[in-house]
Amino acid sequence: MTKNSKSFHLIIDLISIVVLIILDRITKNLAVTHLKDKPAYPIINKVFVLSYLENRGAAFGIFQNRQIFFLIVSVVFVVGIGYFLLKLPLEKKYNVAEAVLVFLAAGAFGNMIDRAMQNYVVDFFYFELIDFPVFNVADIYVTLSCIALFILIVFVYKEEDLEFLSFKKKNKDEQI
């Protein structure tokens, strides 16, 4: 297995996803240990606090108590990311997209683990100044990855750069 082989890249992607999930798990465990059943802990007074919350919904608390639905969507989402990682060409221009997909998968898995194990996601970051919904490290992965993916698709990659995603086979005339 060479450094430029697809197998090598996929193994590095998998290791990266696992490391990012571990980081998410550590932060959530710290939140449970140090924040649960305690008052919010201000980092920057009236701006940013650590505040424990058990989120039984999706992003920003929407769709409360639909855990089976979220698990199914998460599995489909992660399978889709896996498909894209498999199809992604081994060219330098796709390195950022590969990293973005790794963070996206880690975020999806991180929250999926919470939902599967305890029927809620542990959230603990809160921007009090703007009353932004409470969130966690996995949410940061997902949110920033979605923004980065949008920027890549809209501003960086051209249509022909994304042809590898096509399900249709090229006919003989197009292969020349």
- What is the sign, positive or negative, of the torsion defined by CA atoms of 166, 170, 174, 176? positive
Q: Report if residue 117 sits inside a domain.
A: yes
Q: Report if residue 87 sits inside a domain.
A: yes
Reduced 3-state DSSP string for 75-116: HHHHHHHHHHHHHCCCCHHHHHHHHHHHHHHHHHHHHHHHHH
C-alpha to C-alpha distance for 98 and 90, rounded to whole angstroms: 10
Q: What is the pLDDT of residue 163?
A: 87
Q: How many domains does the chain have?
A: 1
Q: Report if residue 170 sits inside a domain.
A: no
Active site positions, annotated: 123, 139
Q: What is the pLDDT of residue 126?
A: 96
C-alpha to C-alpha distance for 146 and 93, rounded to whole angstroms: 18
Q: Report if residue 38 sits inside a domain.
A: yes
C-alpha to C-alpha distance for 125 and 95, rounded to whole angstroms: 30
Q: Report if residue 86 sits inside a domain.
A: yes
Q: Report if residue 154 sits inside a domain.
A: yes
CA diameter of the chain: 68
Q: What is the pLDDT of residue 99?
A: 98
Q: What is the pLDDT of residue 114?
A: 92
Q: Structural domain of residue 66, as residue ranges?
A: 6-163
**The pTM is what?**
0.87
Residue 148 makes CB contacts below 8 A (sequence gap 6+) with 96, 100
Q: Report if residue 1 sits inside a domain.
A: no
Q: Report if residue 175 sits inside a domain.
A: no
Q: What is the pLDDT of residue 176?
A: 46
Q: How far apart are the first and last CA of the chain?
A: 30
* Tens-binned pLDDT, residue by residue, of the chain (176 aa): 777 899 999 999 999 999 999 999 999 999 999 999 999 999 999 999 999 999 987 665 556 666 677 778 888 988 999 999 999 999 999 999 999 999 999 999 999 999 889 989 999 999 999 999 999 999 999 999 999 999 999 999 998 888 887 765 555 555 54
